[in-house]
């Protein structure tokens, strides 16, 4: 059972960028946003740390069947990094549990999305600030199988609070770039202690 | 201050705001939550079959001390604002932290999280409502006490909340209310009561003997709204010298009947001392796979897919979990009796740690049966996407025919409504808690509607056969209370009479388990 914790400095987010145009639009709008500490929870099947850029490759909390093992990490982060962000790429059940635990510690969702892997298609349903939801969903489509990495690299952009949110659905056919064994329903989310 | 949030019935915005201001004066603003978009979302039920606005609170307040609760009670009595008490609020499938009606103020006791005493010699702990199973487990590990806790699955809930909701665990101490001893309760008028032997000045046996002299009243404060429990004694099992968990996989649906009848005397004679479980295939499988991996169609999973999944995962249509405890010779002897007994079932196969370790379903059960908390059971919620669920929980005799009758009844109805049967029987001393996990996509209005209808039908079906539920979701508390209707609702009328006497303003958790104060019945 892997149980690693470290906090990412999201300065790394500037290092890697995909060249899709929706993403560029987001980057352009992010110039004034202050980057903050980042804690990442990822399901073991979603982010392959070995394929990530060097600076973040050892800094993930990898979740598998028992999310309870990681409660302490989340609580400690909330207490020590009140201006930080927590990104999740997890099973739905882990999201529900961690959201509840985060709320107890003053952290709330800024962004949530579901990602459904069906036999022939992939569906991203994004709930975020109304000015960003469509662009984020487009970027996830454009990033193809690298969508988890795209989220990891753009947390400073997608956090805009949960007020005035909108939900956008984007669908794409499943091409060979996607892991064919990946099936089911995953979620991604971003928590912060920002008010509003 | 209300931001279009619901208000308690009969309370004006001005009254509500005045009450909140007074509570802020007691607790400070940090522990009074009124932001509906962020803070109060965690006090809603994400898994309700109805729109969660029907159970949306107007505020939540989190006191730290008995004195603060007394002061809050004074305020809400004055303004006649209903409060909904939670300890940790984690009983999803039954409503979580959400109140029975919109507009209630949640009295959140999570901050009352002191472990007041752990007594290794006598095997008990005294805890406040905010102490979770994880908290108590970690504390005992840190101190090195040779004691086990008995936790619910998943284990992020609290001892006081689970026990007072008649929850169960998986070690020999699995009947939580049976292992409860002594409590401190605040009545609606602010009076603090210690129950049992704790009613004496300087009692030396408050956590050792449950009853004291006179009526045993602790049960009155469980699954009820007669007071606010602020402290509870709970017995802890001494760590045994040995522990051997095992599982028996059974190839056929009909084997439920036989395994139940064979397990009954083993349980009653304490050859199997713990709260054993007979778990259906999908429940077990969902610890490691999702439905979509085996079936992408609509409706319940067909038999062919179920059989393939069972073969792939080396599971049975039913899977019986239990454990033996004690010195090795005793465990060996008892296991031989158990193996001889269950070997009478054709195709029954025994599994142990040596061959099963690493399987998530096995691992979490093996941990629970020795009181180690985990969250693995939440994997169930990924069986279908958007893991909504509510639990239908009828009590069954430990009798094969009854168990199979209940199973068939629920399976047929759930298939009729397009859902999988996902269930387990938790084998107690003389009863079984039959838990049917009704899973639906919480994002699908159609599935929520069907699930809601199915649940109502199941209550009626079960009642017609003489089976009642032991616990339920907010939405169905009234309906199930009605099934306890013998002699013109004599039992619930008694509950209501006690309610009127102890809480004349009807401020404590109105409607909990179908117990309504008069003023709410009128509205």
How does pLDDT run across B206-218, given as a tens digit for each residue?
Answer: 999 999 999 999 9
Q: What is the pLDDT of residues A139-161, one digit of tens each?
A: 999 998 888 889 988 888 887 66
Q: State the nearest Cα–Cα gap between A187 and chain B, in angstroms.
A: 10
Partnered with residue B394 across adjacent β-strands are B469
Query: CA geometry: angle at B278 spanning B172 and B460, to 5°?
Result: 110
Closest listed residue to residue A184, CA positions, set A23, A36, A43, A17: A43
Nearest-angstrom CA–CA distance, B54 and B50: 7
Pick B156's closest partner by Cβ from A65, A97, A162. A97
Q: Which pLDDT score is estimated for B440?
A: 95
Q: Which pLDDT score is estimated for A48?
A: 65
**Beta carbons of B385 and A91 less than 8 Å apart:** no
Q: Which pLDDT score is estimated for B347?
A: 98
Closest listed residue to residue B93, CA positions, set B433, B491, B492, B499: B433
Q: Which pLDDT score is estimated for A50?
A: 59
Nearest-angstrom CA–CA distance, B388 and A21: 37
Written as one string, the DSSP assignment of B90-150 is --TTTTTT--SSTTPEEEE-TT---EEEEETTTTEEEE-TT-BHHHHHHHHHHHT-SEE--
Tokens of B393: 């929980």
Q: Which pLDDT score is estimated for B39?
A: 87
Pick A108's closest partner by Cβ from B38, B46, B385. B38
Q: Which pLDDT score is estimated for B142?
A: 98
Choose between A10 and A127: higher pLDDT. A127
User: Measured between beta carbons, which residues in chain B are less than 8 angstroms from residue A64?
Assistant: 360
CA B86 vs CA B28, B140, B160, B492: distances in Å: 20, 24, 10, 22
Tokens of B207: 């956590």
**Beta carbons of A96 and B378 less than 8 Å apart:** yes
Nearest-angstrom CA–CA distance, A166 and A168: 7
Nearest-angstrom CA–CA distance, B143 and B133: 15
Alpha helices in chain A (DSSP H): 21-29, 71-80, 92-104, 133-142, 147-153, 155-158
List the single residue in A with minimal CA-CA distance to B388. Answer: A93
Q: What is the pLDDT of residues B140-179, one digit of tens each?
A: 999 999 999 999 999 999 999 999 999 999 999 999 999 9
Q: Is the pLDDT of residue A10 over 60?
A: no
Maximum distance among all Cα pairs of chain B, rounded to whole angstroms? 71
User: Measured between beta carbons, which residues in chain B are less than 8 angstroms from residue A69?
Assistant: 374
Nearest-angstrom CA–CA distance, B258 and B403: 10
Q: Which region among A42-51, A74-83, B235-244, B443-452 has the lowest average model confidence (pLDDT)?
A: A42-51
Options B94, B104, B124, B170, the catalytic residue = B94
The verdict on B199 touching A (C-beta cutoff 8 Å) is no
Q: Is the pLDDT of residue B25 over 90?
A: yes
Q: Which residue has the tokens 């193996």?
A: B339
Q: Which pLDDT score is estimated for A4?
A: 23
Q: State the nearest Cα–Cα gap between A21 and chain B, in angstroms.
A: 31
User: Measured between beta carbons, which residues in chain A are less than 8 angstroms from residue B42?
Assistant: 99-100, 103-104
**Beta carbons of B382 and A114 less than 8 Å apart:** no
Choose between A15 and A96: higher pLDDT. A96
**Beta carbons of B134 and A71 less than 8 Å apart:** yes
Q: Which of A58-62, B439-443, B493-497 has the highest mean pLDDT?
A: B493-497
**Beta carbons of A66 and B155 less than 8 Å apart:** no
Chain A interface, mutation test: which of B57, B92, B382, most A Cβ atoms within 10 Å?
A: B382
**Beta carbons of B290 and A185 less than 8 Å apart:** yes
Strand B276-280 relative to strand B349-351, pairing:
unpaired
Q: What is the pLDDT of residues B345-388, one digit of tens each?
A: 999 999 999 999 999 999 999 999 999 999 999 999 999 988 89
Cβ neighbours, 10 Å, residue A154: 24
Q: Which pLDDT score is estimated for B522?
A: 53
List the single residue in B with minimal CA-CA distance to A182. Answer: B293
Is position B417 annotated as part of the catalytic site? no
Pick A185's closest partner by Cβ from B46, B110, B385. B385
Nearest-angstrom CA–CA distance, B343 and A102: 48
Is residue B357 classed as helix, strand or coil in its secondary structure? Answer: coil
Q: Is the pLDDT of residue A74 over 90?
A: yes
Chain A from 129 to 168: CB within 8 A of any B CB: 162-163
Q: What is the pLDDT of residues B434-467, one digit of tens each?
A: 999 999 999 899 999 999 999 999 999 999 999 9
Chain A interface, mutation test: which of B86, B375, B437, B439, most A Cβ atoms within 10 Å?
A: B375
Pick A92's closest partner by Cβ from B41, B363, B385. B385
What's the helix, strand, coil split of chain B in %, to 5?
Answer: 40, 20, 40
**Beta carbons of B156 and A91 less than 8 Å apart:** no
Strand B59-61 relative to strand B32-33, pairing:
antiparallel
The verdict on A80 touching B (C-beta cutoff 8 Å) is no
Residue B3: pLDDT band (50, 70, 90) is low
Residue A7: pLDDT band (50, 70, 90) is very low
Chain B from 53 to 92: CB within 8 A of any A CB: 90, 92
Chain B from 333 to 392: CB within 8 A of any A CB: 360, 363-364, 373-376, 378-382, 384-387
Options B134, B294, B470, B484, the catalytic residue = B470
User: Measured between beta carbons, which residues in chain B are less than 8 angstroms from residue A183?
Assistant: 290, 292-293
**Beta carbons of A91 and B379 less than 8 Å apart:** yes
**Is the ipTM reported for this complex over the cut 0.85?**
yes
Q: State the nearest Cα–Cα gap between A63 and chain B, in angstroms.
A: 11
Output the CA torsion sign for B506, B510, B513, B518. Answer: positive
Nearest-angstrom CA–CA distance, B101 and B428: 33
- Asked if residues B288 and B382 have their Cβ atoms less than 8 Å apart, the reply is no
Nearest-angstrom CA–CA distance, B264 and B410: 22
Say whether the peptide bond before residue B27 is cis (omega within 30 degrees of 0): no
Q: Is the pLDDT of residue A18 over 70?
A: no
Tokens of A64: 């598998």
Is position B411 annotated as part of the catalytic site? no
Pick A92's closest partner by Cβ from B42, B156, B382. B382
How many helices (H) and strands (E) in chain B?
Answer: 15, 19
Closest listed residue to residue B156, CA positions, set B130, B128, B187: B130
Nearest-angstrom CA–CA distance, A133 and A49: 27
Q: Is the pLDDT of residue A6 over 50?
A: no
**Beta carbons of B37 and A162 less than 8 Å apart:** yes
Q: Which pLDDT score is estimated for A162?
A: 61
Q: Is the pLDDT of residue A22 over 50?
A: no
CA B88 vs CA B44, B53, B97, B185, B311: distances in Å: 13, 21, 8, 17, 39
- What is the edge-to-edge ordering of all strands in the sheet holding B228-235? B115-119, B124-127, B228-235, B180-186, B192-194
- Asked if residues B420 and B299 have their Cβ atoms less than 8 Å apart, the reply is no
Residue A30: pLDDT band (50, 70, 90) is very low
Burial of B131 (0-12, 13-18, 19+ CB in 10 A): buried
* Residues of chain B above pLDDT 70, percent: 99
Is position B471 annotated as part of the catalytic site? yes
Partnered with residue A186 across adjacent β-strands are A91, A115
Q: Which pLDDT score is estimated for A44?
A: 80
CA A53 vs CA A59, A153, B10, B33: distances in Å: 11, 10, 59, 41
User: Measured between beta carbons, which residues in chain B are less than 8 angstroms from residue A127?
Assistant: none
The verdict on A99 touching B (C-beta cutoff 8 Å) is yes
Tell if the pTM clears 0.90, that is, is over it. Answer: yes
Q: How many CB pairs under 8 A join A and B?
A: 89
- Give CA torsion, residues B40, B43, B49, B53, to 10 deg: -30
Strand B243-250 relative to strand B228-235, pairing:
unpaired
* Residues of chain A above pLDDT 90, percent: 38
Q: Which pLDDT score is estimated for A25?
A: 38
User: Measured between beta carbons, which residues in chain A are less than 8 angstroms from residue B156?
Assistant: 68, 71, 97, 101
Q: Which pLDDT score is estimated for B508?
A: 98
Alpha helices in A20-161 (DSSP H): 21-29, 71-80, 92-104, 133-142, 147-153, 155-158
- Asked if residues B61 and B25 have their Cβ atoms less than 8 Å apart, the reply is no
Written as one string, the DSSP assignment of B308-352 is HHHHHHT--SEEEEEEEESSHHHHHHHHHHHHHHHTTSTT-EEE-
Q: What is the pLDDT of residues B83-134, one digit of tens each?
A: 999 999 899 899 999 999 999 999 999 999 999 999 999 999 999 999 999 9
Nearest-angstrom CA–CA distance, B122 and A188: 47
Averaged pLDDT, B475-497 = 97
**Beta carbons of A68 and B38 less than 8 Å apart:** no
Residue B505: pLDDT band (50, 70, 90) is very high
Q: State the nearest Cα–Cα gap between A148 and chain B, in angstroms.
A: 19
Q: State the nearest Cα–Cα gap between A182 and chain B, in angstroms.
A: 9
Q: Which pLDDT score is estimated for A52?
A: 57
Q: What is the pLDDT of residues B253-265, one digit of tens each?
A: 999 999 999 999 9
Cβ neighbours, 10 Å, residue B176: 25
Choose between A104 and B113: higher pLDDT. B113
The mean of the pLDDT values for chain B is: 96
Q: Is the pLDDT of residue B521 over 60?
A: yes
Q: Is the pLDDT of residue B299 over 90?
A: yes
- Asked if residues B69 and B188 have their Cβ atoms less than 8 Å apart, the reply is no
List the single residue in B with minimal CA-CA distance to A91. Answer: B382
**Beta carbons of A71 and B46 less than 8 Å apart:** no
Closest listed residue to residue B369, CA positions, set B275, B234, B284, B285: B275
> What 3 state SS string does B58-83 have?
CEEECCCCHHHHHHHHHHHHHHCCCE
Q: Which of A63-67, A177-181, B300-304 has the highest mean pLDDT?
A: B300-304
């Amino acid at each position: 059972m892997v149980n690693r914790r470290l906090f990412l400095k999201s300065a790394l987010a500037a290092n890697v960028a995909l060249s899709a145009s929706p993403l560029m639009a987001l980057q352009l709008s992010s110039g004034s946003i202050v980057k903050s500490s980042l804690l990442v929870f990822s399901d073991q099947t979603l982010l392959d740390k070995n394929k990530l850029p060097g600076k973040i490759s050892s800094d993930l909390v990898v979740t598998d069947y028992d999310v309870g093992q990681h409660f302490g990490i989340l609580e400690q982060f909330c207490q020590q990094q009140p201006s930080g962000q927590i990104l999740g790429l997890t099973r739905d059940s882990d999201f529900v549990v961690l959201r509840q635990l985060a709320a107890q510690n003053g952290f709330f969702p800024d962004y949530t999305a579901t990602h459904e892997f069906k036999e022939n298609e992939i569906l991203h349903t994004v709930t975020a600030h109304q000015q960003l939801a469509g662009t984020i969903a487009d970027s996830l489509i454009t990033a193809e199988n690298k969508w988890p990495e795209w989220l990891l690299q753009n947390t400073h952009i997608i956090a805009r609070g949960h007020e005035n949110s909108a939900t956008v659905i984007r669908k794409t056919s499943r091409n060979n770039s996607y892991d064919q064994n990946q099936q089911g329903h995953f979620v991604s989310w971003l928590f912060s202690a920002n008010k509003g | 201050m209300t931001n279009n949030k619901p208000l308690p019935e009969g309370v004006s915005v001005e009254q509500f705001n005045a009450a909140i201001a007074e509570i802020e004066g007691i607790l400070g603003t940090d522990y009074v939550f009124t932001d509906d978009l962020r803070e109060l979302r965690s006090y809603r039920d994400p898994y309700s079959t109805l729109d969660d606005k029907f159970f949306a609170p107007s505020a939540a307040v989190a006191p730290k001390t008995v004195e603060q609760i007394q002061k809050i009670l004074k305020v809400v009595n004055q303004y006649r604002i209903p409060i909904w008490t939670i300890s940790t609020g984690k009983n999803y499938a039954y409503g979580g932290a959400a109140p029975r009606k919109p507009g209630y103020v949640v009295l959140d006791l999570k901050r009352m999280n002191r472990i007041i005493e752990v007594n290794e010699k006598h095997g008990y702990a005294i805890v406040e409502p905010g102490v979770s199973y994880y908290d108590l487990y970690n504390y005992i590990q840190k101190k090195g006490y040779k004691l086990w806790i008995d936790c619910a699955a998943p284990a992020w809930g609290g001892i006081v909340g689970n026990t007072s909701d008649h929850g169960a665990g998986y070690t020999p101490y699995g009947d939580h209310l049976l292992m409860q001893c002594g409590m401190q309760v605040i009545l609606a008028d602010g009076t603090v009561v210690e129950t049992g032997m704790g009613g004496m000045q300087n009692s030396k046996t408050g956590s050792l003997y449950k009853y004291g002299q006179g009526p045993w009243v602790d049960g009155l404060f469980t699954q009820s709204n007669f007071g606010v429990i602020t402290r509870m004694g709970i017995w802890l099992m001494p760590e045994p010298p040995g522990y051997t968990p095992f599982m028996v996989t059974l190839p056929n649906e009909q084997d439920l009947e036989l395994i139940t009848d064979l397990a009954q005397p083993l349980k009653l004679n304490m050859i199997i001392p713990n709260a054993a479980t007979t778990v259906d295939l999908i429940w077990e499988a969902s610890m490691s796979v999702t439905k979509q991996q085996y079936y992408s169609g609509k409706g319940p999973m067909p038999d062919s897919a179920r059989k393939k999944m069972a073969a792939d995962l080396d599971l049975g249509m039913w899977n019986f979990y239990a454990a033996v405890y004690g010195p090795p010779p005793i465990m060996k002897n008892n296991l031989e009796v158990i193996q001889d007994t269950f070997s009478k079932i054709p195709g029954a196969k025994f599994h142990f740690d040596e061959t099963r370790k690493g399987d998530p379903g096995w691992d979490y059960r093996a941990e629970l049966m020795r009181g180690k908390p985990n969250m693995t059971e939440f994997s169930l919620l990924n069986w279908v996407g958007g893991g909504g669920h509510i639990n239908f929980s009828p009590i069954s005799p430990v009798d094969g025919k009854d168990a199979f009758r209940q199973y068939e009844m629920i399976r047929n109805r759930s298939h009729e409504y397009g859902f999988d049967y996902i269930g387990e029987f938790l084998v107690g001393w003389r009863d079984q808690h039959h838990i049917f996990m009704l899973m639906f996509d919480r994002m699908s209005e159609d599935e929520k509607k069907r699930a809601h209808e199915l649940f109502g039908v199941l209550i009626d079906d079960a009642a017609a056969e003489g089976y009642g539920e032991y616990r339920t979701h907010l939405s169905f508390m009234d309906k199930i209370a009605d099934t306890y209707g013998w002699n013109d609702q004599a039992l619930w009328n008694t509950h209501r009479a006690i309610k009127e006497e102890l809480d004349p303003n009807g401020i404590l958790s109105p409607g909990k388990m179908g117990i309504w104060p008069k003023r709410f019945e009128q509205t």
